Amino acid sequence: MLPAAKQGAGMRPPGERFGLSCALITPFLAAGTIDHARLVAHARRVLAEGCRTITLFGTTGEGPSLGFGERAAALDALRGAGFDFGSTVLGAITASSVQDAAAQANQLFDAGACGMLIAPPFYFKGVDDDGLFAWFGRVFEACHAPRNVFLYHIPSLTQVPLSTELVGRLRAAYPGVIAGIKDSAGDWPTTERFLAAHGDLHILVGDERLLARAVRHGGSGAINGFSNFCAAKLLPMVERGEEVPQVAALVDLLLAYPVTPAIKALVAHVTRDAEFLRTAPPLVDLPDAAVRTLVAAYERLG
């Protein structure tokens, strides 16, 4: 159990919305290091286009490919550029060891980040809720001051799903620590279960095809990759639960490609800056022919 000073109400105030957070891409220089100038400029761009916050080091940000030092340098670059970490910057945690996950979390909290998105340990498969409860608990207890924690449900990549029961156990044991759930399962029954069991938290949807429906049923917003290149188009979905048909068609289009390189290709297109195309191994850049096909299809969608 965490000390009393680290506990809180454990639910969002009535009517409070999370809004839209950009799962920020990470631009790279030709040498393979993070392009801090473009990172800063792009973060400013998506905030100006309607995102309330940015989320660093997530799936779209290639977080699992970024080491501790690279993360530190990126945080320093944003801090040096004057970003208000306490209101606009979250970060994702992707690690399998308790020590590494806690180190990444403390790095964010020590920098003043307003929250963190944490995926379950992903190397061992077939683990049960008891094992996951113990892992998350040890990470929380190793954090200096855990707050605004969003649990990241993305079983397509981790192969480690998060149950509603596990979320309930963690909330009971660590009150005030968990602020919400990011559901990237991509199926409505899962989103519906999270809303029914934990609708007093911020339930965020990663699949844009389900976003407006989730908001109409009590969802609180989204952390997503599409806001890197079309944040303004997503605002009616996030703020009013209005469907935007082109967005669903665009999801179907992108799923024909490796998603993160495809998102980077569209960022490069809308910014007219091909430097955004670069990815970090093991991902590879989208081939030129695929980029042209994707961009043409994107333009046809309007």
Domain count, the chain: 1
127 part of a folded domain: yes
Whether this model's pTM surpasses 0.85: yes
Active site residues: 152, 182
- 184-194 confidence digits (pLDDT tens): 999 999 999 99
Quote the CA–CA distance of 181 and 118 in Å, as a whole number.
9
The reported pLDDT for the residue numbered 130 is: 98
44 part of a folded domain: yes
225 part of a folded domain: yes
CATH of residue 17: 3.20.20.70
The reported pLDDT for the residue numbered 8 is: 40
265 part of a folded domain: no
What is the span of the domain harbouring residue 149? 4-239
The reported pLDDT for the residue numbered 15 is: 67
The reported pLDDT for the residue numbered 6 is: 39
The reported pLDDT for the residue numbered 245 is: 87
Q: Cβ(79)–Cβ(42) under 8 Å?
A: no
247 part of a folded domain: no
81 part of a folded domain: yes
16 part of a folded domain: yes
The reported pLDDT for the residue numbered 2 is: 40
Low-confidence ranges of the chain (pLDDT < 50): 1-9
Cα–chain center distance at 166: 20
71 part of a folded domain: yes
